[in-house]
Structure 1
Amino acid sequence: MDLLRLTRPLNVILFLAATALGGALVAGAAAFEGAALGALFLAMGSATLVGAGSNVVNDLYDVEIDRVNRPGRPLAAGTVSARAAWIFWALLSAGGVLLGSLVSPLHAAISAASVALLWVYSAKLKGTVLLGNVAVAAVIGMGVAFGGLAVGPARGPLWAGGLVGAAIVFAREIAKDVEDAEGDRAGGARTLPIVWGERRALGLSIGVIVLVLAALPLAAEVVGASFYVWGLPLAACLLMALWTLGATLGVGEPLREPSRRASGWLKGALVAGIVGLVIARLG
């Protein structure tokens, strides 16, 4: 059970959902029929395993930081050994690449590249200024493309969905860095809030959220006019994240709790965006 907790199942569902979104954006309802459905299921399974493995390897490199920020995590609490976690990561990653290879050689290459990028993120990039944030956002965007390319050639809606998802994840990763700043400092990391300052980092997150809100009408024009309706929950979550972060910038209070709440709203925005884009595309 603790091994499964390392995968963060609720977060892994986002990898699965992003891949399904890509299929829907390219082929609409046809993505869930016949041979396309089989290919999409394999792609979803591949993305899910790769995503689960990425969470495991992230915890392996974050043990000392998690002892400050999240002491209940299995590796930080000592309920799972590092050896068992490394074996679990290898099995999940190999399974993800194998399933990707059953879709196409391109999917095998993308899944293998994602495993490598996510390992580099955990080992080298997570504690750097912006590079780690960009890497995580890029993987989510790749996940959308991964599903879309399983059922057909890339189309405009695919890139619109991928860019919206990647931008939301980028803003969320910055908020999470502010939330985790205390433990990251103890672990010697040099994340954006540590180098720039927490309020300046949140200012960048706010700027990205504003850009996403401004781009939603453009996404609706590409995906379908019904997104003006189905995208409202996404816009509401983004506005709540914006309000939560904006209210902190001129106040001298600690930023960890507001950043945690904003991160939750941004995760909600990602879910709402996936649902809204799928409904708009299938409608």
Structure 2
Amino acid sequence: MIFPVMMFAIVVSPHYDMPALFYTFCWLWFHVFQFNASNQSYSAHEDVLNKPWRPVPSGRISVKDARELRWALMLFCLGFSFLFGSNVVITSVMATVLIIVNDDLRLSDHPVFKTLCSTGGYVIVELASLLILSRECTLDGMSIKEPVCSTLVVLLTVHAQDFADVNGDRRSGRRTLPIIAPEGSRIYILCALPLFSFALASVWSLGPLSSLLFVSMGSWVGIRYYLFRDEIRDQSTYRLYNIWIMSAHLLPVNARFHALAW
């Protein structure tokens, strides 16, 4: 999440400086840390299969200590947000509420609510990062259009993160899209990534070569998800998906600087 969101904020913000860039990174890093501490304190049983290298299943921290760390980070993040104004505090509160409903209330066990929580998390941290980086100055039209595009892309493709975790998710009783629709979810991602790539290239008026490269990237990721279905290659494909997401957040640079008009 950190790299796509930072790229989003840098490209979209009409104004920023180096101190603001550093503050934005720190705010984002600590809020992602808060989410990870909370999420992993509840997912230790499935992480034994999916991600045994994480701190809880590998025994480097107990579930109890992870949850105490999570609440301490919540207080720290809220206090840190006060340095940047009331709007950033509101986004921090929203992020905390989203973490609670996702983890403590177990909305992450339902495929639709899990997708909505993941999308909401992206939207909240993108908004906060933009506010900190721009120092809440007046936003222009592109600063509004890009969050809409980002929200739609994440909402409609974020289940790509679940393919590699099917074994652990099934063991924990979680119902993700790859579990309830193993074939349909792969056919969907096979079609969706090229189509969204083409749509984003059109929205941001990319040049022919830039459009070809971006659409080819989305198509290759979609093809890999459909053809290669073992856990190891799903993990590799998910890394490629994240590169595609970062590239999607970089596209507005063409509207700002015409850097991808070739």
After TM superposition, the score normalised by the length of structure 2 is 0.82
Alpha-carbon distance between aligned partners in 2 of 1:177 and 1:120, rounded to the nearest angstrom:
19
Residues 273 and 143 (structure 1 numbering): CA distance in 2 closer, same or farther, change over 3 Å?
same
Give the aligned partner of residue 193 of structure 2: 209
Residues 166 and 107 (structure 1 numbering): CA distance in 2 closer, same or farther, change over 3 Å?
same
What stretches of structure 2 of length at least 5 have no aligned partner? none
Give the aligned partner of residue 22 of structure 1: 9
Alpha-carbon distance between aligned partners in 1 of 2:191 and 2:211, rounded to the nearest angstrom:
20
Alpha-carbon distance between aligned partners in 2 of 1:116 and 1:234, rounded to the nearest angstrom:
35
Secondary structure in structure 2 of the residue aligned to 1:78 = coil
Are 2:107 and 1:132 aligned? no
Residues 46 and 232 (structure 1 numbering): CA distance in 2 closer, same or farther, change over 3 Å?
farther
Alpha-carbon distance between aligned partners in 1 of 2:24 and 2:75, rounded to the nearest angstrom:
14
The alignment-based identity, stated in percent, is 17
Alpha-carbon distance between aligned partners in 2 of 1:132 and 1:155, rounded to the nearest angstrom:
32
Whether the aligned pair in 2 keeps the contact of 1:43 and 1:99 (CA below 8 Å) is: no
Residues 231 and 276 (structure 1 numbering): CA distance in 2 closer, same or farther, change over 3 Å?
farther
Shift of residue 24, structure 1, vs aligned partner: 3.6
Alpha-carbon distance between aligned partners in 2 of 1:25 and 1:264, rounded to the nearest angstrom:
24
- 2:67 aligned partner, one-letter code: W
User: RMSD between aligned alpha carbons?
Assistant: 2.8
Are 2:76 and 1:95 aligned? yes
Shift of residue 193, structure 1, vs aligned partner: 2.2
Residues 281 and 142 (structure 1 numbering): CA distance in 2 closer, same or farther, change over 3 Å?
farther
Shift of residue 172, structure 1, vs aligned partner: 5.3
Are 2:244 and 1:260 aligned? no
- 1:31 aligned partner, one-letter code: Y
Secondary structure in structure 2 of the residue aligned to 1:186 = helix
Whether the aligned pair in 2 keeps the contact of 1:69 and 1:180 (CA below 8 Å) is: yes
What stretches of structure 1 of length at least 5 have no aligned partner? 1-10, 249-253
Whether the aligned pair in 2 keeps the contact of 1:127 and 1:191 (CA below 8 Å) is: yes
Secondary structure in structure 1 of the residue aligned to 2:57 = helix
Alpha-carbon distance between aligned partners in 2 of 1:20 and 1:176, rounded to the nearest angstrom:
20
- 2:130 aligned partner, one-letter code: G
- 1:214 aligned partner, one-letter code: F
Deviations 1:188-225 (A, max 9, x none): 11222222x2111223333432342132134314xxx6
Are 2:207 and 1:220 aligned? no
Q: 1:184 aligns with which of 157, 165, 169?
A: 169
Give the aligned partner of residue 117 of structure 1: 98
- Aligned residue pairs: how many? 254
Q: 1:142 aligns with which of 124, 127, 138?
A: 124
